[in-house]
Amino acid sequence: MYSYNDFDEAFVRSRVAQFSQQVHRRIDGSLTEEEFRPLRLMNGLYLQLHAYMLRVAIPYGTLNPRQMRQLAHIAQTYDKGYGHFTTRQNIQFNWPKLPDVPAILTALADVEMHAIQTSGNCVRNVTSDHFAAAAADEIEDPRPYAELLRQWSTDHPEFQFLPRKFKIAITGAPNDRAVTAAHDIGLRLVKNDKGEVGFSVLVGGGLGRTPMIGMVVREFLPKEDLLPYVEAVLSVYNTLGRRDNKYKARIKITLHETGKEEITRQIEARFAQLRPLFGGHDQDLLAEITEAFAPPAFRNAPVDAYDAFYKADPVFRAWADTNLAQHRNDQYAIVTISLKAHGATPGDASADQMRVMADLAERYGHNELRISHEQNVILPHIHKGDLPAVHAALVQAGLGTANVGLISDIIACPGMDYCALATARAIPVAQQIATRFDELKLEHDVGPLKIKISGCINACGHHHVGHIGILGLDRAGVENYQITLGGDGTETAVVGERAGPGFAYDEIVPAIERIVGAYLEHREAPEETFLEAYRRLGLAPFKAALYPSEGKKDAA
Amino acid sequence: MARFTPKVVTANALLEGDVIYLTADDRWTRLHHEAELIEDEAHAQLRLVHAMAQKSVAVGAYLADAKAGPDGPEPTHFREVFRTRGPSNYPHGKQAELI
């Protein structure tokens, strides 16, 4: 994986020094909050409901064990012993104190990490497929391009004051695990008729109060045109994007108001101007970066231990069935470590758990860890012969939950338990749904089902693309939860449909149970997933299950 | 004109970020029930201006709805209730620290 060069190191260190001075000046009164706020946000520091929150970037969700251990150290030393992994593949610390933030940023810089551009109207952390360079279905590792974009966008003078924040996601596989269609720019590596690899470029996707699926503005972009083309998109957005209304400032609105044809024309015109200015240094840099992402030296060894355990141990088998994904090397598997133990907070890991995961990555996983946007941790390269040992260690650390992709593998934003913007809680709803379906012992029977919960309309919990989406709102001073159905965040992305009136806090779990009950009743066979059944049946049977009394009223 | 709903002045502490409330004797307290319950709109604005002037102590001061209770002011909105105790998923924040 990529390692900082002298330039990166000097830049991050100078930003730590600069922000440390700013913190001191805020504390001694030389800076007002109005002056300090934009500075702290540029460095990932928020003031939330009960405390400060520091959002640390994990570029394209890739970490090494040393970095994971440092996150554990920070959690233990400066926070309450845990960290929260987010849907942006970042980690958030919920309880840092302002005077400690310079020390935390220094500790991050010691392991080539930072919190720069995790907030503000700039290009945010570039997200990617958490199975990158391991997945069997991949065309090419997307991370060298993500790293190139990270270097290009970090402190880019033209793009530090965009109309609004800007999110780029990139996938190297046709099965889109990076929700590229819901990003300001979505990049998909594709092959054209000649067998050349390039990008399909989507623009204008996003969730939030106006959810939209991105539109393809370029079917095939040669790889070497990536930076000038992305720069052209941002340049056009920087010019056209609205600064008069925060709610209309994202590029999805610009695209809608300008029209796809016109904005494409402007992007191409700007691209024609910019392309000649890129003399090839970007490609030299990309070549260097690509070397850093060379695949590990995969081991060639028997996988008998795996086969034997799979046959003999039902607990291991259940975990293997849900938490493993196919690796490009037949002797290997991709392990998803569930941070969704039933009843626990989605995405949270204790310092001890972080250390266990770091140790496993070091001992068995070619020194790589990933954070998924679904708030789990991935060991992308585990030899199958080592899986029984890895599983045993995970179980011991409370990380052995066999539920990836099932109903209890819920995405939830921090909601009103932490976030100052939230309008309702999200975490306890997730905890209760997971606990309830664990009691019912139904989740393996229900099969693949993605529930995603947001505690406000900004949709950090991706509820629009959940098979079942839950949006927490404040309705006349009471928490109220709206349900959307049929959302999909993959290559067949679609925004879910609102089911009807919302439910009170104590009604939401029974409502989810009724939806699942309707699915079990109406599915053609256990092989028909919830999403497939929804697509075949539409909203009606689920609505009838959700609002039984209304059906009776209509009949009367 | 709509009747004025009683208020407390609340903010976050600059150093820790913890929720704080303005008392009648110009202190900042971590306890909601020690806050000054303000029943007059003009007085509320004065108290808010006073709070906002304390830039090296309090951040983001605002007026939050409250009502009188047996032990002092009580929050009325659920967001303010959460702010008096901390998150619901862990025993962290005020609910742990003020016992």
User: Is the pTM above the cut of 0.90?
Assistant: yes
Name residue, tokens 């009747």.
B3
> Percent of chain B beyond pLDDT 70?
98
Do strands A497-498 and B7-13 pair parallel, antiparallel, or not at all (unpaired)?
unpaired
pLDDT the model gives residue B99: 62
| Chain segment A175-222, per-residue pLDDT in tens | 999 999 999 999 999 999 999 999 999 999 999 999 999 999 999 999
Q: Low-confidence residues of chain A, pLDDT below 50?
A: 555-556
DSSP 3-state of A251? helix
What's residue A257's pLDDT?
95
**CA distances for A314 relative to A7, A242, A305, A394, A396, angstroms:** 51, 57, 15, 16, 17
Give the gap in angstroms from C-alpha B43 to the nearest C-alpha of chain A: 24
Integer Rg of chain A from CA: 23
CATH superfamily of A420-555: Sulfite Reductase Hemoprotein, domain 1 (3.30.413.10)
- Under DSSP, is residue A142 helix (H, G, I), strand (E, B) or coil? coil
| Chain B residue at shortest CA distance from A45 | B17
Picking from B19, B80, B89, B95 by the largest number of A CB atoms within 10 A of its own CB, the best residue to mutate is: B89
Q: Which residue of B has its CA nearest to A422?
A: B79
Helix axes A143-153, A226-240, angle to 10 degrees: 50
Q: Which of B86, B68, B53, B24 is nearest to A416 (CA)?
A: B86
Angle at A405 between CA A383 and CA A360, to 5 degrees: 30
As annotated, the residues of chain A forming the CATH 3.30.413.10 domain(s) are: 134-292, 420-555
Instruction: Note whether A416 contacts B16, CB cutoff 8 Å.
Output: no
Q: Which CATH number fits domain A304-396: 1.10.540.10, 3.40.50.1370, 3.90.480.20, 3.20.20.60?
A: 3.90.480.20
Q: What is the mean pLDDT of residues B3-14?
A: 96
Partner-chain contact B60 A33, CB within 8 Å: yes
B18 contact residues in A (CB cutoff 8 A) = 50-51
Question: Quick one: average pLDDT of B31-38?
Answer: 98
Write out the CATH class of domain A6-109.
Answer: alpha beta
Residue of B nearest to A54 (CA): B17
Separation in Å, CA A548 to CA A87, A318, A374, A526, A555: 34, 36, 32, 25, 11
Residues in A closer than 8 angstroms to B79, CB to CB, are: 49, 416, 474
Distance from CA of B52 to the nearest CA of A (A): 10
* Closest partner CB to A98 (pick from B15, B60, B82): B15
Which pLDDT does position A555 carry in this prediction?
47
What is the reported pLDDT for A121? 94
Q: Which residues does chain A have within 8 Å of residue B16's beta carbon, measured at their own beta carbons?
A: 51, 97-98
In this prediction the ipTM stands at: 0.96
- Chain A hits for B94, CB-CB cut-off 8 Å, are 50
For B87, which of A50, A477, A478 is closest by C-beta distance? A50
- CB < 8 Å from A in window 55-84 of B: 55-56, 59-60, 76-79, 82-83
Backbone phi and psi for residue A43, each to the nearest 5 degrees, phi listed first = -110, 20
The CA distance from A94 to A82, in Å, is 9
Chain B partners within 8 Å of A98 (Cβ): 14-17
From first CA to last CA, the distance across chain A in angstroms is 66
Q: A180, A181, A59, A186: which is closest to A125 by C-alpha?
A: A59
Taking CA atoms, what residue in B is nearest to A415? B87
Which helix H or strand E contains B59, and what residues bound it?
strand B58-69
Domain A134-292: give its CATH superfamily: Sulfite Reductase Hemoprotein, domain 1 (3.30.413.10)
Q: Are A27 and B17 a contacting pair at CB < 8 A?
A: no
